[in-house]
Chain A
Amino acid sequence: MSTAQTPPSTQPAVKSSEEYFNSGRLKVIGLITAATVAVGALGGIAGIAFDPDPVPKDNVIQPGGEGGTRLAPQSLGGPGDSAPHGHSARSAYTSRLPGADATATPSSVGSVSPGSGGFTDAPTDTATAEPSPPDGGTNTTGGSGTTIEATGVDIYVPPNWKVDFQDENRVFQSDGNGSFSFAFSFADDPATAAGDIITQNMDNLLPPENYTQLQTSDVVALDPFGSVVSLAGIEYEALWVDNQGSASIHGQIYVGVRQDGTVLGILIEHVPAEDFESAFEDLTPILDNSFNRFGGLG
């Protein structure tokens, strides 16, 4: 359809389409790129200027017994050398590396004394409630407990906390204010070191896809008590991220192995990381009461 026709005698020169815009190619590309770099630089300045005070990493406690005793501060190293494991009733979280705990600097701990015979809502309180039978994952409130079906291990549920999820090996509970606890239990070789279980399951417990900038302390060997033959803990901090946002997280993981081969692991954490200290007192009863019962002190 290129039919030639007579051009008008007054036809002006055809303008370049660039004249129809305020800016030329280089100006558009330069402006947008420069503005993007400038905003990125502002973000960089903000990243330097808004560094918070470091959250103390000396919260690792000796669960069981008197409980709540903090250990010496642990240096945060790189991420643990971990390997993913499945989630079946038997093999999940199972270490295949027998031997001593993968500890760095075992720290002094407070004295361990027998528990009071039941769940308490604070490390030094007396028992206030007996663990309830498994409830099939329904919400539980009121300082009671719930049982992991696969091993019969009781997990303490503090007042105002609720069980969000439960299956035969796991219990996940939260307080609705940024504090969480995840407990798991299974049967394994009694000779398995608790520290190895932590080390080899870091990717399961703290998925690298979401837990970025992960910093962990060394795995700390804790004093066994009661029927617990191996006990270890680790502290971590990470920047959790997904497509809707990010949040700083600070938490701890404790794993104990009983002489009958039953393993109990409890993860406690709080969002945001800077509030972990203030939330810690609400988290320790979960550790103390659950491990007391696990070690036969309750």
Chain B
Amino acid sequence: MACPTCSSDNPEVASFCNRCGTSLRAGDAKRSASYAVQSAEGVTQFALISTVMPHTSRRSADNYRWAMITSGVLILGATALGLLPIAIAAAAFLVPLAYLVYIDDVNLWEEAPAAVVVGLFIATGALSVLVSLFFFDWVFDGQWASFAGGGRARGGIGSMSFPALLVFAVLLPVIAEVVKNVFAVLLAARPQFDDMIDGLTFGVAAGTAYAAFETVVVYSSVFTAQDFRTEQGIASWMVVVLNVMVIKSLIYGTATGIAVASFSGKGEGYDGFTPAYFANFGLAVGANVLYWLGVRLMAYLPFGNALGLIWGFAILAALVIKIRMMLQAALLEAAVEAAAKGDGSDDKRSTFVETFCPECENMLLANASFCVVCGTSVRSSSRQARSAMGMSAVPAGAPAVDFVDPAAPTDPTTPGTDGGAL
């Protein structure tokens, strides 16, 4: 049958167009219930792993989920024991470390040397340390100290220094966002990494690296405290460690990811410094400013740290939804444009041989950009998956595959039809 959007020929059993990803199911024209990166999820679903690690499949995403849960429990355990130097260091680097493993796992850098992989983290981290020292130790240390000296029992929010608020909740996030973008944009401008998903990945990597090194600087007093172990204020530190480990790291990462993804753009070749990039850069800055303004102001309220954590979670949720909507639109629109331009035989983002969907493991058609069964975008497949793809081409529209309905009951002994759920 012909796709109503791009007129591409599809098997009669197809649920999604193999070229443009349009849903061929009745009443689902907008595909809001099927995220093109991971089709089992809705577009507006708050799913962290598949958002910040878009090259994972549902099965491999579970690996990261469990790894981070395991590590997170260990970190919170160390916090509960009052071992703050251990907890802060591990919490700061949990997400960046997981991301390094992810980048290697999906072979994002292909044949690039490992030094390049680590380079993005080290270079962004080095700049992060410099910026953090500049703001917290070298120039604005007095303003920073005013947040400590003007505790809520002293004068409440009335004792807050407005210049200090501007410096640490407005100026610093602006400078930091520029720094986070520098190396990520340089990498996204390389021709082999011009996909929006690549830009997103570099942005998230740079953002989380910045967050990790900044955390080490701003919590350096933990490492130099008189006591290695504390028995007081554990509840406060649990909240702080949770914030450092998850909220701050991912807000920095997702915000920068949005900016760098728009630098890459939706089609072939990177878009560069377009108005869309600056708009999304502004959005990234705005998210960081909102986050820190909220944290600073709520610090003067009872349970201020916990309120700040909740506030950060709300910001993070908005950023995650923004990324998912952005990627969904980009993947679908780019595919429609590519389909409109030709038959897709020379589209490097399409399959060129017979292969299998990493998500549902049904067969992908030749020259396909989407799985016709689950609707997952080929572009969201890992490069490892692409290099492992199949043998001979199957002409589009050829009724040659036993398509499996992922919603239908399946034989658990059949490999690859369980969706990878743990």
Question: Which residues of chain A have a CB within 8 Å of any CB of chain B?
Answer: 1-8, 10-12, 14-23, 25, 28-29, 31-33, 35-37, 39-44, 46-48, 50-52, 54, 79, 137, 164-167, 170, 172, 174-180, 182, 203-215, 237, 239-249, 267, 269, 271-272
Contact = CB atoms under 8 A, between A and B. Distances in A.
Nearest to A46: B223
Given A36-B75, A43-B88, A243-B295, A22 B236 contact: no
B71 A33 contact: yes
15 contacts: A17-B359, A33-B71, A37-B71, A40-B89, A41-B86, A42-B89, A48-B228, A79-B232, A165-B156, A172-B154, A206-B153, A241-B237, A243-B308, A243-B312, A244-B299
Interface in B328-369: 354, 356, 358-359, 361, 363
Nearest to A244: B295
A208 B232 contact: yes
Which has the most chain B C-beta neighbours within 10 Å: A50, A207, A245, A269? Answer: A245
B224 A5 contact: no
A244 B90 contact: no
Contact of B15 (A1, A203, A248): A1
Contacts of A44: 83, 85-86, 89, 228
Given A17-B361, A40-B78, A178-B141, A5 B13 contact: yes
A65 B168 CA distance: 42
B98 interface: yes
Given A20-B57, A52-B224, A209-B236, A8 B400 contact: yes
B304 A17 contact: no
B106 A28 contact: no
A243 B75 contact: no
Contacts of B67: 28-29, 31-33
A29 B73 CA distance: 13
Contacts of A211: 151, 233
Q: Is the interface of B mostly helix, strand, loop or mixed?
A: helix
A19 B85 contact: no
A224 to B, nearest CB: 26
Interface string B269-291: 00000000000000000000000
B178 interface: no
Contacts of A36: 71, 74-75, 90, 93-94, 97
A249 B225 CA distance: 10
Given A39-B89, A208-B233, A247-B144, A47 B391 contact: no
A169 to B, nearest CB: 11
A51 B394 contact: no
A246 B71 contact: no
A248 B223 CA distance: 11
Contacts of A215: 226
Given A23-B105, A39-B90, A165 B150 contact: yes
B85 A43 contact: yes
B101 A8 contact: no
Contacts of A247: 144-145, 148, 221
B239 interface: yes
Interface stretch (B198-206, B254-262, B401-409): B401-409
B175 interface: no
Given A2-B405, A241-B236, A29 B63 contact: yes
Given A20-B384, A51-B226, A246 B218 contact: yes
Nearest to B407: A1
A3 B105 contact: no
Given A10-B391, A40-B87, A242-B299, A170 B399 contact: no
A165 B154 contact: yes
Interface in B216-238: 218-219, 221-228, 230, 232-233, 235-237
Given A17-B416, A165-B158, A237 B75 contact: no
Contact of A207 (B153, B223, B239, B391): B153
A55 to B, nearest CB: 8
A137 B148 CA distance: 20
Interface in B159-188: 159, 161, 168
Contacts of A170: 154-155
A17 B149 contact: no
B413 interface: no
A18 B382 CA distance: 11
B57 A180 contact: no
Which has the most chain A C-beta neighbours within 10 Å: B90, B100, B101, B145? Answer: B145
Contacts of A269: 149
A243 B243 contact: yes
Given A21-B56, A206-B151, A210-B148, 8 more contacts: A17-B416, A28-B64, A33-B70, A36-B71, A79-B232, A203-B153, A211-B151, A240-B151
**Smallest CB-CB A-B distances: 10 pairs:** A43-B89, A212-B233, A47-B85, A165-B155, A20-B385, A180-B149, A245-B218, A40-B90, A165-B159, A271-B145
A68 B141 CA distance: 27
B97 A35 contact: yes
Contacts of A240: 148, 151
B112 interface: no
Nearest to B212: A39
B85 A164 contact: no
A43 B224 CA distance: 11
A172 to B, nearest CB: 4
Nearest to B69: A29
Interface string B234-254: 011101100100001000000
Nearest to A44: B86
Nearest to A242: B299
A58 B78 CA distance: 34
B148 A249 contact: yes
A22 B86 contact: no
Nearest to B299: A242
A3 B402 CA distance: 8
B156 to A, nearest CB: 8
Contacts of A267: 154
Nearest to A8: B400
